[in-house]
Amino acid sequence: MGKKLFSLLVVLMSLSLIGIIFVQSFFINNTYKNEEKQFISDVKRSLISVSKAIEDKELLSYNKLYREAIENGRTPDTSEIKQLLIFESYNEETNQAIQFRNAISEESFKVPSLFIDIGTDSINISRITNFSETKIFERSTIDGQLSMNPVQTFSDYSTMDDVGRRIFKDNYKKVYRNYPVYKRITNEEVSELLESEFSISGIETAFEYAIYDKDLSTKIRSENFEKDAESTIGIPVFRDNENKSKFALYVDFPERRKYLLSSLLGMIILSIVFTSIIIIAYSSAIYQLIKQRQISQIKTDFINNMTHEFKTPIATINLALDSIKNPKIIGDQEKVMRYLKMIKEENKRMHAQVENVLRISKLEKNELNISKERLELHELVEDAITHVELLVEDRKGFVKLHLEADKSSVLANETHFTNVIVNILDNAIKYSDDAPKIDVYTENVGNNILLKISDQGNGMSKQVQKKVFEKFYREHTGNVHNVKGHGLGLSYVKRIVDDHQGHISVESEKGKGSVFIIKLPLIS
């Protein structure tokens, strides 16, 4: 896959993921707003029912006084015809006249205010009565004058009709409109009505309430009520005959947001879970793709390096063999032996490269059995130095020992751990442009021993330090083959140190050298 195509796929996948997250957030936000609108609608509908219930309760109180006055036979103070309808007709065949009258009368009574506490000794109530009467007259002429003689009379006092009820309600509202609100309703009654209506509407959350007289709070309120222009919902109560009121019932829900979110909790959790799975899967896929590209590039470099490493000895062997076959050379025993030695050395070199690769492969598969015994780390260090001593001297460099640890007994494999130290020393030599200058330190830290191998070579950047122990990794310096190797040495070092329950790290600065630090547990 080309770099441009890979980058395009990553961008498209990232945009798609961001789009999915945006759509989910937009959907949840819209659902929350719809739930909030429905909640406000339910609250307002409940408050309308509560307002009507409060007015009905007051009407019933007034009606109770009205019935008492009538049942006790009180004499009205006044009697007034509120509405009168007269209809007349004449039938010539029967010589009879029909007269229909319909009236609503109002009678006022003054009664003690024993049934409700309104702050006065007595109140005026009114009885509204429907009066209907039908009379039939017969026309006759007596002494030349027209006379109307009643023949039949029908009368009916029935219950009030709609007009009567309206007049009745108007009267009761006039009676109560100037009374303090706390004498018209109690906190307990308001609380019970609100709880009942909210329960019917399915609103199961804590609320606070208050009745305000215009902009002033009254005694009818809950303890923790606070009016908030954004969250408080109100509706008029105790409306007058013109459907207006100076009183308003307000409710507020302290846990409103939490209550609304609780209804969406399941959807939000599922959305977060599934979105997280998609993000994790996407991130993992991108990581694996990038890793595979890196591995592919590293393996390509490894193959190139291995080819280069084998190409030189193979060419040397071929030249040596061609020389030996030369009739002039084959008779020269000394030259033949020198060429045979060259062939053996190059063959040994190739064999060592193959063994190194196989050793790493076995380590990864846990097939390499590493037996351990009690060893002195100082002795392993001194032995490893003898393997590189000639190379250092040839380049006019030095290796200085600073073995200051009092205890150096460790449980280790002699061959493999010697190879670990040799590999680090070999890197210090290869990555020093000038004469290699190497210092080796040991010290005891608690129940551990620290081995530090410091050089004054090229050093490495922070980015390289993070990857230096990865398999096949080699720092690019413009010329792939300017330093011999195939990126397996330090990977092998780390695997062996880990197998010895140790820890290896590197401290380095570009152009100022590197320090490799190995920490191993001591044995008593």
- What is the length of the chain? 524
Q: Provide DSSP, 451-508.
A: EEEEE-S----HHHHHHTTSTT-----SSTTSS---S-HHHHHHHHHHHTT-EEEEEE
Q: How many alpha carbons fall within 13 Å on the CB side of residue 62?
A: 24
Residue 375: per-residue pLDDT: 93
Q: pTM here?
A: 0.45
Residue 157: per-residue pLDDT: 33
Residue 132: per-residue pLDDT: 47
Q: What is the CATH number of the domain that holds 285?
A: 1.10.287.130
Residue 380: per-residue pLDDT: 93
Cβ partners under 8 Å of residue 281, min gap 6: none
Residue 87: per-residue pLDDT: 44
Token pair for residue 146? Answer: 């027209």
Helix (H) or strand (E) holding 79: strand 79-91
265: left (phi over 0), alpha (psi -120 to 50) or beta: alpha
What does the alpha-carbon distance between residue 421 and residue 426 come to, in Å, rounded to a whole number?
9
Do 444 and 480 lie in one domain? The reply is yes
Residue 204: per-residue pLDDT: 87
Q: Which one-letter amino acid corresponds to residue 461?
A: S
- Give a yes or no: residue 64 inside a domain: no
- Give a yes or no: residue 67 inside a domain: no
- Burial code (b: 16+ CB inside 10 Å, e: under 16) for 178-209 equals ebebeebbebeebeebbeebbeebebeeebbb
Residue 504: per-residue pLDDT: 93
Residue 107: per-residue pLDDT: 54
- Give a yes or no: residue 236 inside a domain: yes
How many domains, the chain? Answer: 4
What does the alpha-carbon distance between residue 58 and residue 40 come to, in Å, rounded to a whole number?
27
Do 151 and 286 lie in one domain? The reply is no
Residue 17: per-residue pLDDT: 85
Residue 12: per-residue pLDDT: 86
Residue 515: per-residue pLDDT: 94
Domain that holds residue 51: 3-58+181-254
Do 379 and 288 lie in one domain? The reply is no
Burial of 382 from C-beta contacts in 10 A (0-12 / 13-18 / 19+): middle
Cβ partners under 8 Å of residue 462, min gap 6: none
Do 196 and 278 lie in one domain? The reply is no
What does the alpha-carbon distance between residue 272 and residue 223 come to, in Å, rounded to a whole number?
39
Do 13 and 115 lie in one domain? The reply is no
Stretches in the chain below the pLDDT threshold 70: 1-2, 61-178, 241, 298, 301-302, 304-306, 308-309, 312, 349, 352-353, 356-357, 359-369, 471-489
Do 392 and 503 lie in one domain? The reply is yes
- Domain edge (last residue) among 236, 254, 272: 254
Do 511 and 381 lie in one domain? The reply is yes
